[in-house]
Amino acid sequence: MQRYLVRRILLALVTLLAVSLIIFVMSRAAGDPRHVYLDDYSTQEDWDRLTETLGLDKPYYYQYGIFLGSALKGDFGQSIKEGRPSMEVIIERLPATIQLGTAAFAFSVIVGVPLGILSAVKRGTFLDMTGKIIALIGQSAPVFWLGLMLVFLFAVRLDWLPPYGRQEISSIVLPAVALGWFYAAANLRLLRSAMLNVLDSEYVKLARAKGVSNNVIIWKHSLRNALIPVLTFAGITLGSLVTGSLVVETVFAWPGLGQLAIQALAGNDYPLLQAVVIVFTLMYVTAALLVDIMYAYIDPRIRYG
Amino acid sequence: MRRLPLIPMLILAVFIATGIFAPLIAPHDPERGSLRERNLPPAWEEGGTTKFLLGTDHLGRDMLSRVIFGARISLVVAAVTLVVGMGIGVASGLAAGWYGGWIDEILMRVVDIKLAIPTILLALVLVLALGQSFMIIVAVLAIAVWPRFARNVRGEVLQLKTMDFVALAKVAGASTPRILFIHIFPGVINTLIVLATLEIGIVILLESTLSFLGAGVPPPTPAWGSMVSDGRDRLAVAWWISTMPGLAIMLTVLSMNLFGDWLRDRLDPRLRQLG
């Protein structure tokens, strides 16, 4: 267990380091950073001061050291568009993104888990078919399009829910469904096939032969074992939650980090974009690490494997 | 055993054919329209004309022609990406599996790191720093797909290299490249085919997502993702601008997935899931 943990934490750190290196290399590949930060009204003193702070007259590895040092302190430079530290802008936006992510996760569990179990237990029925359709849409419809279609149906045509923004409480419903759909579909499919496997296993047959009731078999003997692949998958695909929030926040004008990243892209605001990317990666890597630790805790085969 | 997925295969055939023969099939120029004919609804809606079967967009360009040419972009991007990504993945998978040791260790750690970085974020950084172009998009997507190929090929090679026929080839004096390409590579082709069909869907989704976010193949080239984005603010007046290209993406990816699932059951029974 300890070896596994150490390896896993090391990987997370190296990943963050790799991302910071990519961002640094790209910031230099994009051209002289002095041209990004300074405009026509800047003086020679500004120019020299920036040369000094970024270490532009020093070799690249030294510059990367400076970059990494200030990144560790949470200093990613000034956002060009906002004219204030990038980190400040990000902290303002963070709550909205976390709120949306939580709501989407809740949706995916509330819809995916029960439907997955029911689809397996009542295989071949109407319920199973419904589950299948939800899963197929989640697997193949692009998130941005799904979001727009939800807007078209529930906001434009039916006028039940607000189409965008974050003014009302009900504003969160459509973005959360759009973002959570993929996960709901994945949970559903994985749980269904895992349940079918478990229900077919020797120990469930033995339990049945002993005369254990159907409910106990489903909830106690089967579900616990069937949840393992669901958890594995959650760890692997957390990345698409990040991707998804970029897209969904853009579609619904949800004022979070994802929308900020796209605004930075559109406004050529590299200092802001790099900060958002680092924060996103940090969140993602931490979440994946937690899932993996939980996973090892639940499944002894990983710990000792 | 699953049945032969006829409808998905038909849709895929149409997708590939429209992609290849787009200029011959498309009734209008996809990049030019007349403003007098903007926002016309599809033929079956009130006010639609048979001149524009799927209607026109906000600049009066024919939706059908744009969807047809969009298939071409998706097809080309997916094909080039897969060739590049698969090439890198297979080469590194073969090397890692065959040589083992530090080569294996380094390659697999790079794979781990790559799989831990969300692709879209990487894409945004590259596009903002280096500019928007076809080459950048393909490079980003190839970076996104190679690790899975590398990891799977490596696993297969580890198994294959313990086989008797490999030992015999060695004894017979075959060189390492010969063993790798003549004896081992054919053994991983099945896995590659299955993986490739399943990855195409992912590549098409990624490409359309990038175009939607404004980081894809630059306009006015009609990519499906950017077409959906064009219709975003016009849902109330012209719902078809966003709906049509989105449907095209969904149908293509859906068919690809169903076909890939079937192929996996046929070629690689170990991966079969209970249906």
The tens-digit pLDDT sequence of chain A (305 residues) is 677 788 888 888 888 888 888 888 887 777 677 776 777 777 777 777 777 777 777 777 878 888 888 778 877 777 777 778 888 888 888 888 888 888 888 888 888 888 888 888 888 788 888 888 888 888 888 888 998 898 888 877 787 777 777 777 777 888 988 888 888 888 888 888 888 888 888 888 888 888 888 888 887 778 777 777 777 676 666 666 777 888 899 888 888 888 888 888 888 888 888 888 888 888 888 887 887 777 777 766 655 54
Tokens linked to A165: 């923004």
The full DSSP string for B95-157 is HHHHH-HHHHHHHHHHHHHHHTS-HHHHHHHHHHHH---HHHHHHHHHHHHHHHHHHHHHHHH
pLDDT reported for residue B275: 44
pLDDT reported for residue B114: 83
Q: Say which range, A2-16, A267-281, B1-15, B37-51, has the weakest mean pLDDT.
A: B37-51
Of B113, B209, B243, the CB nearest to A14: B113
Using the beta-carbon criterion (under 8 Å), do B128 and A144 form an inter-chain contact? no
Please, are residues B22 and B29 in contact by the beta-carbon 8 Å criterion? no
- What's the rounded Cα separation, in Å, for the pair A253 and A144? 12
Give yes or no for B109 touching A (CB within 8 A): yes
Q: Distance from B182 to chain A by nearest Cα, in Å?
A: 34
Average pLDDT of every residue of chain B: 83
- What's the rounded Cα separation, in Å, for the pair B222 and B199? 23
The full DSSP string for A28-84 is HHT--HHHHH--TT--HHHHHHHHHHHTTTS-HHHHHHHHHHHHHTT---B-TTT-S
Residue pLDDT, tens place only, B106-160: 888 888 888 778 888 888 888 888 888 888 889 989 988 999 899 888 988 888 8
Within 8 A of B209 by CB-CB distance, chain A residues are 142-144, 243, 247
ipTM over 0.90 threshold: no
- What's the rounded Cα separation, in Å, for the pair B41 and B45? 6
Q: Which amino acid, one-letter code, is at B128?
A: L
- In this prediction, residues B45-60 reach a mean pLDDT of 75
Within 8 A of A143 by CB-CB distance, chain B residues are 209
Long-range contacts of A278-283 (CB under 8 A, 24+ apart): A278/A16, A278/A19, A278/A20, A278/A23, A278/A71, A278/A76, A279/A90, A279/A94, A280/A242, A280/B118, A280/B121, A281/A15, A281/A16, A281/A19, A281/B117, A281/B118, A281/B121, A282/A16, A283/A242
Q: Residue A136: which of A199, A192, A198, A218 has the closest Cα?
A: A192
pLDDT band at B271 (very low <50, low <70, confident <90, very high): low
Of B129, B253, B273, the CB nearest to A140: B253
Of B125, B239, B273, the CB nearest to A23: B125
In chain A, domain spans: 2-72, 91-303
Pick the CATH number of A91-303 from 1.10.3720.10, 3.40.710.10, 3.30.365.10, 3.30.70.20: 1.10.3720.10
pLDDT reported for residue B2: 66
Residue pLDDT, tens place only, B134-145: 888 899 899 889
pLDDT reported for residue B270: 60
pLDDT band at B84 (very low <50, low <70, confident <90, very high): very high
Within 8 A of B236 by CB-CB distance, chain A residues are 156
For B196, the enclosing helix (H) or strand (E) is: helix B185-213
Residue pLDDT, tens place only, B250-259: 999 999 888 8
Please, are residues A144 and A247 in contact by the beta-carbon 8 Å criterion? yes
List b or e across A90-127, with b for residues whose CB sees 16 or more CB atoms inside 10 angstroms. beebeebbebbbebbbebbbebbbebbbbbbbeeeeee
Domains and CATH numbers, chain B: 6-22+51-273 (1.10.3720.10)
For B176, the enclosing helix (H) or strand (E) is: helix B176-178
- Does residue B84 or residue B51 have the better pLDDT? B84
pLDDT band at B85 (very low <50, low <70, confident <90, very high): very high
Q: Distance from B25 to chain A by nearest Cα, in Å?
A: 26
Q: Within its chain, how far is the Cα of A258 from the centroid?
A: 10
